[in-house]
Copies of this chain bind each other. A is one copy, B any other.
Amino acid sequence: MLVIMQTAPTEEECGRVEAAIRDMGFTPLRVPGADRTAICVTGNRGPVDPSFLIRLPGVARCIPVTKPFKLVSREVHPADTVVEIGGVAVGGPDPVVVAGPCSVETEARTVEIARALRAANADLFRARLGSEGVGPYHFAGVGEEGLHTLERVREETGIPVITEIADPRTAERVAERVDAVEIAGRHMENEALLEIAGGLAVPVILERGPSATVEEWLMAAESLLAREKRDVVLCERGIRTGGQRRTLLDLHGVPVVRRMSHLPVLVDPSHAVAERDRVRPLARAALSAGASGIAIAVHTHPDTAYTDPMQTVDVPTFEGIQRDRAKIREFEAI
C-alpha cells in the first residue's frame, strides 16, 4: 500500500498517517517528492485495507501494491499447471478439444453424438443437465437423470465426461458421476457453489463471469486454490461490452491471463457467438492466441438441438476444426 498525501501536507498529517500504519502492525516509509509526499506501508504480507488510512486528514489516495491473489499467480508458481481430466492432460503442450451438445438430450441422441465426436477425435465430452438461462420460458434441462446418459456416453466411447454444477444441493452428487465439473460464468461469484467445488474430488472448470475482469476471475479461482483444490481450469466464454453482440469473446484475454496465472485456459467460442459460421474462425483464433484448448458445441443434427441450435456446429465443421488444430500444433512456441 502506498499512501499519497495531498499537495503540501503538514508534518502533523504525515505523522498521523505514520502512526496509523504502525498501529496496524506495519512499518511506514516516507517518500518525499517534488510535488507529492507518499508514505509506503511496508512489512505487510498481503493486501492492506485502506479504509482507515484514506479517511485521515491530508491523505489524497491509497494505491494497492500487493496484488490481491497469490496462489493462482504465475509469480508464485511459475510452471504451467497441468490438470488431468479422466486421463486427458489439460494445460500441457498439446491443446485439448472439448465437444458435445449444449444440453444432454435423449440417451439415444446423446450417445449418437458422442460416437461421432469419438470418431472425430474429441478429447472430452461436455453437456449440460440444467437450463440454458434464466427465465420461465426456457428449456429446463433433463436434470439429474441425465447423469445416467453421461455414464453411458463414457461406457460407449471411452471419452471422459464433463457437466455443469449450478446448485449447492446437488453439486456433490453430480460430481461423483462425471470426470470434471464446470461452473458457468453466471455462477463465478456464487460463494456457496465455490465452497463446495473447492472440496470436490474431480477437476473444476471455472468460466469467467460475463462482466468479470481478469483479476476478479483469478480471485474466484484463488478461493478454490485456497481450499487446497489444485486441479482448476479457467474457461473464457465471452464478456459484456458496449457493442450490440450479446457477448464478445475476449481472445485478447488469453495471453493476458496466461501470463498472470499458471492455470490452463480454455476458450468456448460457441457460447460467445450468436451464429454458427463464426465458431470455426474463432476456434482457430483461440488456439492461435495460445489457449490450452477449446470447447465446441457440436451436434449430429444441429438444427434440432434442444438448446442453442443457432450456435451449434455440425460434425463436418467440427472435423475441420480438428484439422485446424493439427496445423496450429506446427506453430513455433512463443
Contacts and interface: CB of A to CB of B under 8 A. Distances in A.
A34 interface: yes
Interface in A289-334: 289-290, 303, 305, 309-310, 320, 323-324, 327-328, 330-332, 334
Contacts of A278: 252, 255-256, 259
28 contacts: A2-B38, A4-B65, A31-B31, A31-B40, A34-B43, A35-B66, A60-B75, A63-B63, A63-B65, A68-B137, A134-B188, A166-B191, A167-B191, A186-B189, A214-B243, A240-B241, A240-B242, A243-B250, A243-B253, A249-B252, A251-B251, A251-B282, A255-B281, A281-B288, A285-B286, A287-B288, A288-B328, A327-B331
Contacts of A248: 241, 248, 250, 252-253
A253 B244 CA distance: 11
A31 B65 CA distance: 12
B47 A137 contact: yes
A85 interface: no
A273 interface: yes
Interface of A: 2, 4, 6-7, 29, 31-36, 38, 40, 42-47, 50-52, 54-55, 60, 63, 65-66, 68-69, 75-76, 130-131, 133-137, 166-169, 186-192, 194, 209-211, 213-216, 219-220, 222-223, 226-227, 238-245, 248-256, 259, 272-273, 277-278, 280-282, 284-290, 303, 305, 309-310, 320, 323-324, 327-328, 330-332, 334
A243 B250 CA distance: 10
A80 to B, nearest CB: 15
A74 to B, nearest CB: 10
Contact of A280 (B34, B44, B189, B334): B334
Contacts of A303: 51-52, 55
A190 B191 contact: no
B190 A186 contact: yes
Contacts of A75: 6-7, 60
Given A63-B65, A210-B211, A251 B44 contact: no
Number of this chain's copies in the complex: 4
A230 B244 CA distance: 27
A324 B332 contact: yes
Contacts of A35: 45, 66
A283 to B, nearest CB: 9
Contact of A222 (B136, B226, B245): B136
A67 to B, nearest CB: 9
A65 B3 CA distance: 10
B252 A219 contact: no
A3 to B, nearest CB: 11
Contacts of A44: 33-34
Nearest to A239: B241
